[in-house]
Amino acid sequence: MIERGLEQVMLASRWLLAPIYVGLSIVLLALAIKFYQELFHLVPRIFEIREMDLILMALALIDIVLIAGLIIMVMYSSYETFVGKLNVSEHKRAGWLDKMDVGSLKLKVAASIVAISSIHLLKAFMNIEAIPNDKLLWYVLVHLTFVVSAVLMGVMEHYSAKKSPGDETSPI
């Protein structure tokens, strides 16, 4: 009886995640507002800013888009994994959700983090004369850490996917 009650509490506690996903939706809205705010500031100055500044602004906008996509992936996939099944059959464009599992989510998140880190590193290199060498070295080391982590996660996922369907051991 205690075991059954504990199981019910544990299963019901997954709904504590739902408000967190709503919070991520609010963060997504904030990112959209920031994206258009930056774009709004860029448009009137388009003919007077330097090419380098335009590229840096474009990288900042791409950074916002990548982070927004990361939020969408985490929000949808985590809800589907931990809370409940999303009804995606009505939405033709959301078919990728049916193919998303925890392993592919980890890889997509890792790839997004590497892409975001790449943009930050590219911004640093475009402003290389203003950044001390030791700080630049740390940027590169952090980025390489993300890259190596993503590659290792991919290798682990590849090998765990090769396991036979009857194998009861779970991948990391």
| Structural domain harbouring 117 | 102-163
User: Does 59 fall in a domain?
Assistant: yes
Nearest CA among 105, 109, 116 for reference residue 143: 116
Tell me: do 85 and 9 sit in the same domain: yes
pLDDT digits (tens, 9 = 90+) for 87-101: 666 666 555 555 666
30-36, long-range: CB < 8 A, 24+ apart: 31/64, 31/67, 31/68, 31/71, 32/68, 34/64, 35/61, 35/64, 35/65, 35/68
User: Does 168 fall in a domain?
Assistant: no
pLDDT digits (tens, 9 = 90+) for 30-61: 999 999 999 999 999 999 998 888 888 888 89
What value does the mean pLDDT take over residues 126-133?
A: 82
User: Does 172 fall in a domain?
Assistant: no
Tell me: do 22 and 90 sit in the same domain: yes
Tally of structural domains, the chain = 2
Identity of residue 159: Y
pLDDT digits (tens, 9 = 90+) for 56-85: 888 889 889 988 988 888 887 777 777 777
Give start and end residues of each alpha helix (H) in the chain: 2-12, 18-42, 51-78, 96-99, 102-126, 133-161
pLDDT score at 93:
56
